[in-house]
Amino acid sequence: MSWQRALACWALRTRIRPHTARPEFDVEQARSYASRRVWTPRVPKGWRLMVHASGDEWLTNETRPRRTILYLHGGGYYFCSPRSHRAITFRLAAQARASVLSLDYRLAPEHRFPAAVDDGVAAYRRLLDEGTPAHSIALAGDSAGGGLALATLLALRDAGTPLPAAAVLFSPWTDLTCGGASMRTNEGRDPMYHAAVFPRVAAQYLGGADARHPYASPLFGEFSGLPPLLLQVGDTELLLDDSTRVAERARAAGVAVQLDVWRNVPHIFQIWAPFMPEASEALKRAAAFIEEMTPLRAAHRLPITSMV
């Protein structure tokens, strides 16, 4: 365990986790805190960042990209932005040699389910309409954005839209019923959250919608026909079972799955790159997966689980 990983876990355990046990939370306060705490990395050399009026971010390199990543940021469906997740998107772009569209999808409570799914589907179809081949696109996302990426895949498949070549999911939140066993077994072990926060956040996003709707909780969807998936999650996370159960169900449906379970890392530890060596290594693995899966349609089976 690197000292950087230990320091990150300590900082989250002492400064963030206590707040997640409170019965109420302030949306605007969370958004303000996130915007103040954002560390913005430099744009990779040779790349160009374009920030659209909509809030979407495009990272491009005209001489290199052969593939495109549609990235969906985390933040419980109610805060964070493409800017807050540049530590992930910038490294994925450079290492996977891919253009990245980081989507500023609509947030709750102003825009509840299924607004975020509608935005993810619309952004993907916009890529297709602009001439980007489906087999050269990978979806990616973290936490709520990881669940959103998987829900977007289900919605695209159900609509008969050509699917992307692959999806990368970092600690995805796939079960808004919060019914995974790890919500109990990892209470007190997760350095970032108390389990009590998840039902409150889910209710804010769902409004009156059914938490078991597959576009809200993609764990409960039918996975047949989906492209290869890479999932990365920490073994002490409350959301551990949101990944392991997806991997099991997807594999049973014939989907190629790689599940990487990392020891003693915080939720979406990838965002700590390049400070945390484990984060840099995880993003390197994700980029290699995307390179392998695009632009060719991958059909071979991947290992179901590895411990890191």
Give per-residue pLDDT as tens, 258-299: 999 999 999 999 999 999 999 999 999 999 999 999 964 444
pLDDT of 92 above 90 = yes
On whether the CB atoms of residues 46 and 64 are closer than 8 A, the answer is yes
| 222 has catalytic annotation | no
pLDDT of 200 above 90 = yes
Tokens of residue 20, six digits: 């997640």
The pTM assigned to this predicted structure is 0.94
| 32 has catalytic annotation | no
What's the chain's average pLDDT?
A: 93
What's the average model confidence in pLDDT over 125-149?
97
What letter does residue 166 receive in the DSSP assignment? E
Residue 149 CA from chain centroid, whole number: 7
Query: 3-296 — its CATH code?
Result: 3.40.50.1820
Q: Which of 73, 85, 135, 267 is catalytic?
A: 267
Per-residue pLDDT band at 22 (split at 50, 70, 90): confident
Q: Which of 102, 136, 143, 243 is catalytic?
A: 143
Angle of helix 277-293 relative to helix 86-96, nearest 10 degrees? 50
Residue-range domain boundaries for the chain? 3-296
Q: Which of 171, 237, 243, 278 is catalytic?
A: 237
Give the CB-side neighbour count of residue 223, counting CA atoms within 13 A.
Answer: 23
The pLDDT value recorded for residue 153 is 98
| 111 has catalytic annotation | no
